[in-house]
A = this chain, B = another copy of it.
Amino acid sequence: MASVEKVFEALASAHRRRILAYLSKTDMTAGEIGERFAGIMSQPAISKHLSVLEHAGVVWRQKRGMNVHYGLNEDALSGTLVHFLAEVCPVGRPLKRESAAAARRKRVALGEPEAEVPETARLARKKS
């Protein structure tokens, strides 16, 4: 599974996103995190979430004595999301080419000029 896949899978869980938020100001031990979410989920559950986050690369993990410290890995997180936004989709480059070709075909079929249509104009036209 590619890294981007893992990141989005990791972010798919609200519990994991809360853990990330909890790590946003400082790194913490698994125990401290478990304490914060006591009553919401068991400690093994948190351990598994942390494992998912680590394997996705959005947190780092460091054993120090008896404790295990976890911390946010901002580079991987914002890097992946910004990259995704720029590309709209990680594996999307070939698809984007197809999409562009389809757009061209449509414009020709409608008799529009060849010039690129500014995306902003198209987007501004539409309401969600």
Q: Which residues of A contact B (CB under 8 A)?
A: 2-5, 7-9, 11-12, 14, 17-18, 20-28, 32, 36, 57, 59-63, 71-106, 116-123, 125-128
Contact = CB atoms under 8 A, between A and B. Distances in A.
B101 A83 contact: yes
Looking at chain A's contact residues, the main secondary structure is helix
Contact of A76 (B9, B22, B128): B128
Contacts of A94: 78
Contacts of A11: 8, 11-12
A74 to B, nearest CB: 5
A77 B62 CA distance: 34
Contact of A78 (B7, B24, B97): B97
Given A117-B3, A122-B73, A89 B127 contact: no
B102 A28 contact: yes
Given A75-B121, A123-B74, A126-B71, A26 B99 contact: yes
Contacts of A126: 27, 60-62, 71, 73
Contacts of A85: 77-78, 81-82
15 contacts: A4-B116, A9-B12, A12-B12, A17-B89, A24-B88, A24-B90, A24-B92, A28-B102, A57-B122, A72-B123, A74-B123, A78-B94, A79-B100, A81-B81, A83-B117
